[in-house]
Structure 1
C-alpha cells in the first residue's frame, strides 16, 4: 500500500508538471505582480536560486513571460508557455540544451558514411499518417538535463525503435554508455553526432540497457560497459536519408523512427508548448532528436512528430510537431539535412533473450 501511494504521488507530480504553468494578464500589470508570478513559477517547478541571483533571474523571467504573452496573442498555429526554462536567457539555453554543435562535428568527420545505400529508395506509397508511439516502438520521454548529450538520446531512440520493430520487444537503452564510451569522435556532454554513435554500437557488439547502465547526466565517468552484464541490443549498421529531401525522409519515417538534427536555439523553441511549430529557426544544426511519425492537421498543415529529450513537461508531453513540406529543401529548422537511421535486418534477439528462449525450449 505504501508503494502504491509513492507511485501515485509521483504520477500526480508528473501530471501537474506536464500541465504547464498558466498565468493571467493581470499578473503582468505591475512589477509586484510579476514578482509574485515568478515566485509561484519557482514553486511550481521546484526551482531554487541563490539570493544574489534572484534579481537577475527575475529580470530574465519577466522578459520571457512577456514574450510568451505577446506571442500567444498572435494568430499562430503554436503556443508558448512558461516552462522550466523561463528564467534562463536565450544564450544560456542554447549553451546548455541546444549546444550539440552537430554542424561542427559533421565538418570534422567529413563526408557521410554508412552502408552507402538507402533501403527505402524504391518505396512508392506510404500511409497518410504514422505514429510509432501507437505501435509501441517508442519508450517514455527522457531528460538529458543540462548535459549536451542529445546526440546520444537521438541515437538510442532510433535503435530502440528498430529493435522493437524487428524483435517485437521494446527495451529502454543506455544513453550513458554512449556518453562514457563513445569518445573517439563524440564528446559526451560537449556534443556529438549520431552517425559515429551508430557505428560505435555496431562495432562494439551492441548497447546495454538503461536499467543496467543508467543515465547520470555526467561525462566524467569512465566506460563501465565491459564490467556490466545483462541484455545487449545490437544493430547491423546505419544508413543516411538523402539530404534536403523531405519526401525521402517521409519514406524512412514510414518504416521506422529516424534520427535527425535541427536548429533548436530560438526563443520560441525554448518556450514551446503545443501546436505545429512554424517559428523562425535557421539551419545551424545544434540539437539531435528523433522523428517518430508524421501527420496533418484538420486545416491541412503537415507536420513531423518529433521526440525531444528535455523531459515530459516540455512541449506536448516531451514532443514537438514541426511543420512538414515547406518550400525550403532543408525543411523547417533544417530537419531534412542530417537524417539517419540504424539497420537491423533480422529478427535475431539480443544475447540475453537468446539464453532465456533456449531455456524455455529446454523446459518444453
Structure 2
C-alpha cells in the first residue's frame, strides 16, 4: 500500500505522531543548511513529508509495507537532523541527503564496509630504501589519474552477501581492482575494467568474499593465479558465487607483484601516488562519511581501519591539501563517487588512518 494513497489527513496524522521529537525543525530560515533545499522544507511537517516523498522518487526507493515506510521515514528524519546540524558547523566540506538517508548508521556500516585486518599474512615488501629517501622536492604539486586515463568508472559494491554480519562487505576487492586497473593502463595504455567478482569467488585462502578481506592478500592471489579477467567476462553479482577462473577463456590482466608503502609516512604515500593509483585503507565508520557530499573532508574519525578504497590523486584547494579517493558506493555518493580527504594534518597516520596501510601492484610490460 503506497503512502501517497492514504487520505491526506490520516497521512499527516501519522507523520505528526512520528514527529514529536522534531522541535529542532523550528530553527530560523537563516540557519538553514541542507544543500539543495529551500528553507521552507524544514519548517513544517507537511513539507517534511513532501521532502521525503521527493527523495524516494529521486532515488527510486520503494518499501514492502506502510510500516516499513513509516520506519524508514523516522530514520530519514534523524539523518536529516544530523545533516542539517553538521552543515551549520562545517567549513571545508558538506553533507547531503544521498541514497543512504533512510539507513540507520549501524545498518549502513554493516552493509558497506568490510576491510579485515589481521596478522595471518604479515605485510611485507615495503620499499623502505626507496621511499625513505627524502627526495620529494621533485614530486608534482598535483596529480589526477582520472585525467590521465588510468581510472575506470565509479562502481557500486552494494550490500554484498549477508549484511547482518559485522563488517560484511566487498570493499577490499574494489580497492584492489582499482589499483590493478590503474597500473595496467599506465603500462599497456589500455584502460580495462576488471572483475571484483573473481576475487570474491576465488581468492579464499585469506580473504572472505562478501565478509571482508584485505588488498595485499588479493594482490598475492592475482600474481599466483595468473591475473584477473575482465568485468564483462566475470560480472559483479553482489554475492558470493562459484569460482570460475577460466570463465569464457578470456584474456586475463596480470601483475608481477606488489609493494607496501611505509606505514604512517604521508610523503611516501604521495611518492607512490605520483606514479600510479594506490590501494589505501581508512576508517569510514563515522556518520559524516555516510552523507559526505563535497569539499575537503577534515571531519572527526579514528584510525581503526575498516574500509578499502583507492587513492587516485592529490592536490590543493583554497589552501587546503587533499588526497583524491575513489570509493565504491556508486556515483551518487560524494563528489560523483569520490571524496577529497585532507592531508598535511600533522598526524603520522593521516586523516582516518589513510597513511597506515597503503599498497600498490607492480607490472612488467
TM-score (normalizing by structure 1): 0.85
Cα offset, 1:325, TM superposition: 1.1
Which has the higher mean CA deviation after the structures are superposed, 51-60 or 189-198? 51-60
Report 1:142-157 matches (<5 A). Answer: 142-147=155-160, 148-157=169-178
CA distance in 2, matches of 1:209, 1:121: 36
SS in 2 for 1:285: coil
Specify which of 328, 331, 356 is matched with residue 309 of structure 1.
328
Cα offset, 1:248, TM superposition: 0.8
Contact 1:115–1:238 (8 Å) recurs in 2: no
Partner of 1:23: 37
CA distance in 2, matches of 1:212, 1:115: 33
Report 1:133-172 matches (<5 A). Answer: 133-147=146-160, 148-172=169-193
Contact 2:128–2:262 (8 Å) recurs in 1: no
Is residue 289 of structure 1 aligned with residue 303 of structure 2?
A: no
Partner of 2:251: 231
CA distance in 2, matches of 1:21, 1:231: 46
Specify which of 262, 273, 276 is matched with residue 282 of structure 2.
262
CA distance in 2, matches of 1:38, 1:315: 20
Cα offset, 1:62, TM superposition: 0.5
CA distance in 2, matches of 1:237, 1:119: 16
Q: Structure 1 residues 267, 142: closer, same or farther in 2, change over 3 A? A: same
CA distance in 1, matches of 2:177, 2:128: 21
TM-score (normalizing by structure 2): 0.85
CA distance in 1, matches of 2:359, 2:55: 39
Tell me which stretches of 4 or more aligned residues in structure 1 moved more than 6 Å: none
Partner of 1:81: 96
Partner of 1:318: 337
Contact 1:117–1:239 (8 Å) recurs in 2: no
Contact 1:245–1:329 (8 Å) recurs in 2: yes
Question: How many residue pairs align between the two structures?
Answer: 321
CA distance in 2, matches of 1:229, 1:97: 32
Partner of 1:352: none
Contact 1:22–1:82 (8 Å) recurs in 2: no
CA distance in 1, matches of 2:260, 2:354: 13
Specify which of 313, 316, 329 is matched with residue 348 of structure 2.
329
Contact 1:117–1:240 (8 Å) recurs in 2: no
CA distance in 2, matches of 1:137, 1:173: 13
Partner of 1:129: 142
Show structure 1 runs of 5+ residues with no match. Answer: 1-19, 348-364
Partner of 1:54: 69
SS in 2 for 1:154: helix
CA distance in 2, matches of 1:39, 1:223: 42
RMSD of equivalent CA atoms: 1.6
Contact 1:261–1:288 (8 Å) recurs in 2: yes
Which has the higher mean CA deviation after the structures are superposed, 322-331 or 73-82? 73-82
CA distance in 2, matches of 1:58, 1:32: 13
Q: Structure 1 residues 60, 188: closer, same or farther in 2, change over 3 A? A: same
CA distance in 2, matches of 1:188, 1:334: 23
Q: Structure 1 residues 161, 119: closer, same or farther in 2, change over 3 A? A: farther
CA distance in 2, matches of 1:289, 1:114: 20
Cα offset, 1:29, TM superposition: 1.5
SS in 1 for 2:249: coil
Contact 1:42–1:48 (8 Å) recurs in 2: yes
CA distance in 2, matches of 1:277, 1:226: 42
Partner of 1:206: 227
Show structure 2 runs of 5+ residues with no match. Answer: 1-33, 161-168
